[in-house]
């Protein structure tokens, strides 16, 4: 069963190929990004990045990824995810939000590899599609 979002944008910010089969790519994205918290230094600031992954449920909404969705054969052909990324600057004991971005990510099955399309939901400056690609590839 395909899990696609009917309002997925026609304008794609970034397209790339992940060298994993479709079901492994889904599992990789969910396990690497859902609930992940990473801390990195940008310039002179320490930044904490939190991410949340949701999957298309009924073509119109997104919901949490459950273990039954990760079973092989539960999803076929294509799957759409909404990845929310919150970046907080850690300044003197307080956390200051510097980015709260939402991206739509479509995975398409190409048998031995998976095509990935990334589109940002808003035009607000902050993270971009290349940042999400790096998160997916583990290069943050």
DSSP 53-121: EEEESSSS-EEE--GGGGSTTSS-SEEEEEEEEEEEEEETTEEEEEEEEEEEEEEEEETTEEEEEEEES
User: pLDDT grade, residue 113 (50/70/90)?
Assistant: very high
The answer to whether 36 touches 50, Cβ cutoff 8 Å, is: yes
pLDDT of residue 58: 86
Is pLDDT at 33 greater than 80 in this prediction? yes
What is the chain's alpha carbon radius of gyration, rounded to the nearest angstrom?
Answer: 15
Mean pLDDT of the chain: 90
Structure tokens at 59: 């073509």
pTM of the model as a whole = 0.88
The residue to which tokens 């300044």 are assigned? 91
Give mean pLDDT, residues 11-20: 95
Burial-class residue 30 by CB neighbours within 10 Å (0-12, 13-18, 19+): middle
Nearest to 120 by CA among 2, 4, 8: 8
Q: Nearest Cα to 84, choosing from 68, 65, 67?
A: 65
Given pLDDT bands bounded at 50, 70 and 90, which one contains residue 97? confident
């Amino acid at each position: 069963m395909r899990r696609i979002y009917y309002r997925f944008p026609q304008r794609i910010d970034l397209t790339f190929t992940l060298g994993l089969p479709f079901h492994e790519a889904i599992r990789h994205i969910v396990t690497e990004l859902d609930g992940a918290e990473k801390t990195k230094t940008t310039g002179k600031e320490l930044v904490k990045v939190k991410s949340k992954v949701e999957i298309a449920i009924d073509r119109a909404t997104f919901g949490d990824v459950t273990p039954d969705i990760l079973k092989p054969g539960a999803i076929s052909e294509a799957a759409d995810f909404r990845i929310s990324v919150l970046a907080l600057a850690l300044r003197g004991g307080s956390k200051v939000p510097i980015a709260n971005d939402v991206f739509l990510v479509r995975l398409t099955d190409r048998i031995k590899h998976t095509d990935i399309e990334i589109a940002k939901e808003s035009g607000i400056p902050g993270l971009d599609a290349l940042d999400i690609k790096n998160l997916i590839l583990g290069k943050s």
